[in-house]
Structure 1
Amino acid sequence: MDAPRLRVRDIALFERRVPFRTPFRFGAVTVESAAQAFVRVEVELADGRRAIGGTAELMVPKWFDKRPHLTAEETVEGLRAALRLARSFYLDAGTDTAFGLHAAIHDAHKANCTAAGLPALAAAFGPAEIDKAILDAVLRALGLSVFDGLHANVAGLDARLSPDLSDTGLTAFLAGRRPLARVALRHTVGMMDPLDGPEGIAALGDRENARFFKIKLSGALDADRDRLRALAARLPEESAVSLDANEQYADPAALSALGDLIARDPTLARLRGRLLYLEQPLPRDLTFAAPLPALPCPVIIDEADDSYGAFPAARGLGYAGVSSKSCKGIYKSLVNGARAAQSGGFLTAEDLTCQAGLAVQQDTALAAFLGLAHAERNGHHYADGFAGGAEADAFLAAHPGLYLRTPDGIRLATASGALDIAPLAGPGFACAVHPDWSRLPPLKAAAPVSRRADARAGEDA
């Protein structure tokens, strides 16, 4: 099947506040609520068919942009700015394939975001969200599931942004995918999360059959040592663990000290034998400054994955893998999957923030297509992504087996320790229904220019 050419006719941007039921701390920030962005796109195919596509993503403060002089809300405003800029570029992009539109606006959008003071990771958020909604619309117009559509390369993915690959290699990679039937849940343990009691590791292991855990680190070696020792003693049998430092280890020397601790501390032997990988230990601006020091486990990049060239550059410095997150770009995840299949390395499925509905369904489908057996997937533990009422009921009815009704509302069906992929295999990008667009508040208007100017002045001081 040839990838259809299309034009983007309309893009509407919305947001909805998601309160957290329990605070979550990662890196240097504690989050108690966050705004979830929603994107609605209308496309017209060359043959005149029109379709609506949608997506959603939590706009997490101080993750895409950790610059200390910015407030948490200012970093969220940067994500809104990336969405607004991307919207204008896609509406003016003319006719092309879904990936062709992405490639056509890529350089100009990134340059405009740089001029506006946005780091590359935050800049990528805008196209990443609109690309998901465009793909959803194309798949709906063609009556294809995301698995069949990606298999046939209906997006028109090619190598123009990844010259280390070939067009034929990418097409062959997509054609060779056999999506998983289930994706196991990896449960993140935030730095404020209790270790014992009904929310502790042992209880979660029993209640949700959790066998994969992701432990957040602070970058303070003594504190991380004590926490790892406590967690090692509580791990369920036959569990596996990853560690995530969220850029908090200041330099290679500090990272080497962590590696020595993990390798030599006898109280960590139980954890050491189950350790899968360490995620993004160094600040993104130091990730590519020098080769990675020797460590007792593979290391992957996450926040440093802010361009199409980041993964191969990291591989050249000793990193073993890269995270797949649809908030960083579905096409980059697919390209990196092809790279790993061709020349080594691996992908992992990360994204704590995927909320019930469009976000968790689309990112989980991407992980299943890439063959990633387990995914960080417990955003439902901290927040309820549904607005409740009719929307939640509609998703439950449309995706039986993925959700269930509980005394606390409609939640992901997590008791088995995995998510079934069959409910995501209908036409569209893993979603049979959309939110009620008429009930969603619009994306907030841009913050006053003077405020942003003050923030830049603080950076220059």
Structure 2
Amino acid sequence: MTAMGEQVAAAADAYSETGHPLEIMHDLTQTYESVAQSANQGCGVSEPMPRLAQLVAASPVDAALHDAYGKTLAANSYNLLGKDYVNRDLSHYLNEDFQGETLDQYTLRSPKDCMPLYHLVGALDPLADADLPNRLNDGLPETLGEWIVHDQLTHMKIKLNGDDLAWDVERVIAVEAAAAAAQETLACTQWHYSLDFNEKCANVQYVLDFLAKLEEGSPAALSRVQYIEQPTHRDLRANPENRMHEAARIKPVVIDESLVDFESLLLARELGYSGVALKACKGHGEALLMGAAAQKHNLFLCVQDLTCIGASFLHSASLAARIPGIAAIEGNGRQYCPAGNADWETPYPGMFQLQNGTVATGALIEPGLGFSNPR
């Protein structure tokens, strides 16, 4: 992947045409398959590189182009998406339904002032003191209850197994108990969960059984579930029997790893998925395009990260803050590798020191992607 990223960067450097970053990157994406093959050969790898890996490998170039374009014009990149700046409308990237439309119609001219942050509750993360045989005493909260009180959290992403129904149900009920105890000390009555089965559910029936059992065991916990992240295998074409219509009537079910292009979004919609998870690491322009497509089709929207820290977290947050309909963002870098945020905390304190469970995305208004390197 590193080799592919380097080759995409070289191709961007050698690109001789002029145009908006969306247009340049769209042209470069046509070469990803051949570039991936070349990178594999150079590294002695025989297994084909998945499309998702290709997008991730090329994403730094995509982000850099959008950032440089904005900084060159002394303007925020999210405000350079209209007809005054682009040469192709969205039908060039999506389909005829987007004829005459541009991304400024699907993005905000100013970022949302603040956004709730989804805190990750890992399968092994301690919920209460009884789950801690030994304390680390590293200065950070160590149980879910402590994190909730420390950051006044209102959004939690719960990691589940997907192949152990009883454990999954009991885990959510246990999270609800720990959260309720902590929220009581804050006089907070409203908080939310997202559920991530890591694609481990064998079929949609597992999800339906889980939701039914959770309703039996804790109606309150079920009521707090905001959405369910891709519960079954990411290969939608190979598993067309995994139709999500019935589950999506209960809670939004979003595609994540499956989302690699517009065609995969349309296929997921056909299979009953009712939402889309955007990630900056799949490509900045690609995320904007998928955000527009999701809005056009009235799909639930969320933005997720991959333990992003520093600039990568600010990038992810700036994306979430500029797309209508996204109510919260993920950011677990502060939990697992907080040292990576150290250089960024002084210039952007509100992005790394939560207030009422939110981050201050309104600060991301600088030229480019909304922030600048503090060094």
User: Same-fold call, TM > 0.5?
Assistant: yes
Match of 1:359 in 2: 312
Distance 1:316 1:201 in 2: 37
- Equivalent in the alignment of 1:202: 145
Matched, 1:241 2:184: no
Indicate the residue corresponding to 1:305 in structure 2. 259
Q: What is the SS of the residue equivalent to 1:95?
A: coil
Match of residue 357, structure 2, among 405, 417, 420: 417
- 363-372 or 109-118, which moves further after superposition? 109-118
Task: Give how far 1:99 is off.
Answer: 1.2
Q: 2: CA distance between counterparts of 1:240 and 1:367?
A: 18
Q: Secondary structure at the match of 1:214?
A: strand
Q: Whole-Å Cα distance in 2 between the matches of residues 383 and 163 of structure 1?
A: 41
The reply to whether residue 110 of structure 1 matches residue 33 of structure 2 is yes
1:100 match: 23
Do structure 1's residue 333 and structure 2's residue 287 form an aligned pair? yes
Query: Which residues in structure 2 correspond to 1:343-422 (within 5 Å)?
Result: 343-355=297-309, 357-371=310-324, 372-384=326-338, 386=340, 392=343, 395-399=344-348, 401-402=349-350, 412-422=352-362
Distance 1:286 1:222, change over 3 A: farther
Distance (Å, rounded) in 2 between the aligned partners of 1:384 and 1:112: 34
Distance 1:318 1:210, change over 3 A: same
- Which runs of structure 2 are paired with 1:13-412 in the superposition (5 Å)? 79-97=1-19, 98-113=21-36, 116=40, 117-150=48-81, 154=85, 158-159=89-90, 160-171=92-103, 173-174=105-106, 178-197=110-129, 198-219=141-162, 220-235=164-179, 236=183, 237-263=189-215, 266-286=216-236, 289-290=240-241, 291-292=243-244, 294-295=246-247, 296-355=250-309, 357-371=310-324, 372-384=326-338, 386=340, 392=343, 395-399=344-348, 401-402=349-350, 412=352
TM-score norm. by structure 2 comes to 0.82
Shift of 1:302: 0.5
Matched residue, 2:44: none
Contact 2:211–2:222 (CA<8 Å) still a contact in 1? no
Residue segments in structure 2 that go unaligned for 5+ positions in a row: 41-47, 130-140, 184-188
Which letter does structure 1 place at the counterpart of 2:353?
A: A
Q: What is the TM-score when the length of structure 1 is the normalising length?
A: 0.68
Percent identity over paired residues: 25
Distance 1:172-1:425 versus aligned 2 partners, 3 A rule: closer
For residue 95 of structure 2, what is the amino acid of its counterpart?
A: P
Greater fraction of residues in strand: 1
Structure 1: distance between partners of 2:84 and 2:190: 38
Q: By how many angstroms is 1:352 displaced?
A: 4.3
Q: CA deviation at 1:84?
A: 2.5
What is the CA–CA distance in structure 2 between the aligned matches of 1:258 and 1:175, rounded to whole Å?
36
Question: Is the 2:201–2:231 contact (alpha carbons within 8 Å) kept by the matching residues of 1?
Answer: yes
State the aligned residue count. Answer: 340
Provide the secondary structure at the position in 2 that maps to 1:185: strand
Contact 1:165 1:339 in 2 (8 A): no
